[in-house]
């Protein structure tokens, strides 16, 4: 595996590989890899001739007061993990090269970004879509992989790719959970042992909601009230949002039907965690 930091070098290599008829499979990340990222890399390995992983903690998707500075970073650890699952090229550009002086072009998806994380983190998705569009232009992948834990992000990136006719197939892969159900996230390492225990309230809430729906409940308000009550039992949990939304439009649903997704964003201490579950599906097994 080679580590490439120069943008032009990365773009030239990718162009050359495409020219040789190779299929490029891409996994964009912010690093501090975990089993969820590795599942994306394994899928990329199966789907492409050349697997490209990007690691870039993108400053433009963090708002003022968010955790850009404290976001976990360890490139040599990540490189070992990426190499072990067959990554070919690890692209780790510098922020000053991605956003040089004078940078002033942004990619913004409207509509889908108005609710959920888009409402609670203004400007976040503008940063995400801008950097993903740049990364797609640099790597020029045939296929790119994203985790479904970032449900809204995946919908927004799909919309951007369709609207801008980007020649890349965007694939979403299922959430990978710890043995006790906590959705894997690079941010989980920031939890103290007690916060780590409290964070299980998100998965408990999902299980509760899924069980209610399985038993025939269709009123979102009642399901949301039960989830909220479970999460509020934890002393350090602060709900950012808990909503039932349509899986395509991401607008709120009063009645639970086949398109209903439960989406949660909860701060446990200083760490913001997100999770989701499609309410038409079976209760997730960790
Ligand atoms: O999901 C992430 O890790 C990031 O939001 C992404 C897609 C790599 C863009 O910075």
Pocket test for ligand 1, best of 132, 136, 151, 160 (most atoms within 8 A of CB): 132
Our answer on whether the CB atom of 263 is closer than 6 Å to any ligand 1 atom is: no
Our answer on whether the CB atom of 157 is closer than 6 Å to any ligand 1 atom is: no
| CA 119 to centroid of ligand 1, rounded, Å | 18
Concatenated DSSP letters of the chain:
-EEE--HHHHHHHHHHHHHTTPPEEEEEE-SS--HHHHHHHHHHHHH-SEEEEEE---GGGS-TTSSTTTS---HHHHHHHHHHTT--EEE---HHHHS-TT--------STTSSHHHHHSTTHHHHHHHHHHHHHHHH--SEEEEETTSHHHHHHHHHHHHHTT-S-EEEEEPPPB-TTSPBP-GGGGGS-HHHHHHTHHHHHHHHHHHHHHHTT--BHHHHHHHHHHHHTTSTTEEEEEEEEEETTT--B-SB--TTEEEEEEEEETTEEEEEEEETTSPPPP-
Q: Give all domains of the chain, ordered by start, each with its CATH number.
A: 2-173 (3.40.50.620), 186-277 (3.30.1300.10)
Our answer on whether the CB atom of 150 is closer than 6 Å to any ligand 1 atom is: yes
pTM exceeds 0.85, yes or no = yes
Show pLDDT as tens, one digit a residue, over the chain (286 residues).
Answer: 999 999 999 999 999 999 999 999 999 999 999 999 999 999 999 999 999 999 999 999 999 999 999 999 999 999 999 999 999 999 999 999 999 999 999 999 999 999 999 999 999 999 999 999 999 999 999 999 999 999 999 999 999 999 999 999 999 999 999 999 999 999 999 999 999 999 999 999 999 999 999 999 999 999 999 999 999 999 999 999 999 999 999 999 999 999 999 999 999 999 999 999 999 887 777 7
Nearest ligand 1 atom to the CA of 157 is 7
């Amino acid at each position: 595996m080679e580590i490439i930091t120069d943008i032009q070098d990365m773009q030239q290599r990718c162009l050359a590989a495409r020219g040789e008829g190779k299929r490029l499979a891409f996994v964009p990340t912010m690093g501090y890899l975990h089993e969820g990222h590795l599942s994306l890399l394994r899928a990329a390995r199966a789907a492409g001739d050349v697997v490209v992983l990007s690691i870039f903690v993108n400053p433009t998707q963090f708002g003022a007061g968010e955790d850009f500075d404290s976001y976990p970073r360890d490139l040599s650890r990540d490189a070992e993990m990426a190499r072990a699952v067959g990554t070919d090229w690890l692209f780790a550009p510098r922020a000053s090269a991605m956003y040089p002086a004078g940078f002033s072009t942004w990619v913004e998806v409207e509509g889908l970004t108005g609710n959920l994380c888009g409402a609670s983190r203004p400007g976040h998705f503008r940063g995400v879509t801008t950097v993903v569009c740049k990364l797609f232009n640099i790597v020029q992948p045939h296929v790119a992989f994203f985790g479904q834990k970032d449900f809204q992000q995946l919908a927004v990136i799909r919309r951007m790719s369709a609207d801008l006719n980007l020649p890349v197939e965007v694939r979403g892969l299922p959430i990978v959970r710890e043995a006790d159900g906590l959705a894997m996230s690079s941010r989980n390492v920031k939890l103290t042992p007690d916060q780590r225990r409290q964070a299980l309230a998100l998965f408990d809430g999902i299980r509760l909601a899924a069980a209610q729906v399985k038993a025939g409940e269709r009123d979102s308000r009642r399901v949301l009230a039960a989830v909220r009550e479970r999460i509020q039992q934890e002393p350090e949990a602060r709900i950012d949002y808990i909503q039932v939304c349509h899986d395509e439009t991401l607008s709120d649903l009063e009645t639970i039907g086949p398109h209903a997704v439960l989406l949660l964003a909860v701060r446990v201490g200083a760490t913001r965690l997100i999770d989701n579950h499609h309410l038409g599906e079976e209760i997730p097994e960790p």
